[in-house]
Structure 1
Amino acid sequence: MGKSQETFSKKEKEKNRQKKKKEKELKKEERKANAGSSKSFDDMIAYVDENGNFSSTPPDPTQKKVIKQENISISTPKQEAPSPEDLIRTGIVTFFNESKSYGFIRDQQTQESIFVHANGLLEPIKENNKVSFEVEMGHKGPVAVNVKTVK
């Protein structure tokens, strides 16, 4: 007489499969039974009050606020061009290598270190000179141009 081909784990899997099948059929029958008593469309509508909270009551039309279309800003506002006086800054030369023709200026207003190249100089500069300059954006960040010493 041969041993049964069904092992314990096979029996358990089959039991679980049958159990899931019965649960699925019960849920299906329950949905069919409740199909006639579904909520109406008006019961499913949700409203949002002035504070952004959901409510089941519609908002009061007397509390309605009128907003002009011109006052709605969708994008960031354009920046106004700075005046020419704001473009000229002052600072102190913290480092300048004459053989390599570059250096750095510490901006007095922002305390930012700004790169300067000999091409942006109007007159020769040295370390610790007080200078006035304009800032332009270069490939790697801000660059000082039109640099001249201030007395």
Structure 2
Amino acid sequence: MAKSQETFNKKEKEKKRLKKRQDKQQKKEERQSNSPGGGLDNMIAYLDEDGNITDTPPDPTIKKKKIDAKSIEIGVPKREDVVETVRTGRIEFFNDQKGYGFIKELETQEKFFVHVNGLIDEVREGDKVSFELERGMKGMNAVNVKKV
């Protein structure tokens, strides 16, 4: 004759699981009976025209503004043409082997990175140059660099 597959330990685990389920159901029922209730209507909050939170809906007749639909621009605003000025500076450092250097602008004393691809003329340290600026990955880069 075969032994029963339900051991004492299995029976105890099943009892604990059922007890937990019953406790959980009781707690849920207690929360529902003790809650103020009202559902969604009690949870809704409104914003008035000043941005303050209230529990009363706004009056649609007060402070209504008319907006002309044609004045609303949809999409990206048009860019204004940026006038690029040619700047002047002096080559502070330039490494021919690595192909990069730095230009110090004469007016603002700012330093800008320059790469060999941005050069029009060959340059050496100390040369006076004119250049334009372009946004690079790490800041502003000098491009179209010419000797003056």
Q: TM-score range by the shorter chain?
A: 0.5 to 0.7
Higher-helix-fraction structure: 1
SS at match of 1:16: helix
The answer for the alignment partner of 2:141 in structure 1 is 142
- Matches of 2:25 and 2:46 in 1, distance apart? 36
- TM-score, scaled relative to structure 1: 0.56
Tell me if structure 2 keeps the 8 A contact 1:105–1:116: no
Write the mapping of 1:51-62 to structure 2, written as runs, cut at 5 A.
51-60=50-59, 61-62=61-62
The aligned residue for residue 117 of structure 1 is 116
Structure 1 residues 19 and 90, CA gap change in structure 2 (3 angstroms): same
User: 1:57: how far off?
Assistant: 0.5
Partner of 1:96: 94
Name the structure 1 match of 2:131: 133
Q: Does 1:21 align with 2:21?
A: yes
Q: CA deviation at 1:111?
A: 1.6
Measure, in 1, the Cα distance between the counterparts of 2:78 and 2:92.
Answer: 35
Mapped partners of 2:26, 2:39: distance in 1? 25
Structure 2, unaligned stretches of length 5 or more?
A: 1-6
Give the alignment's TM-score, normalised by structure 2.
0.57
Unaligned runs of 5+ in 1: none
Say whether the 8 Å CA contact 2:91–2:124 is kept in structure 1.
Answer: yes
Displacement of 1:133 = 1.5
Give the Å deviation of 1:93. 0.4
Number of residues paired by the alignment? 137
Matched position secondary structure for 2:8: coil
The 8 Å contact of residues 116 and 145 in structure 1, kept in 2 or not, is answered as no
% identical aligned pairs? 41
CA deviations 1:40-70 (Å, max 9, x no partner) are 7755643222344442201133133444546
Report the CA distance between 1:126 and its aligned residue. Answer: 3.2
> Could you say what secondary structure the match of 1:62 adopts?
coil
Between the aligned partners of 1:24 and 1:99, the Cα distance in structure 2 is 75
**27 and 97 in structure 1: CA distance in 2 versus 1, 3 angstrom threshold:** closer
Q: Which amino acid aligns with 1:48?
A: L
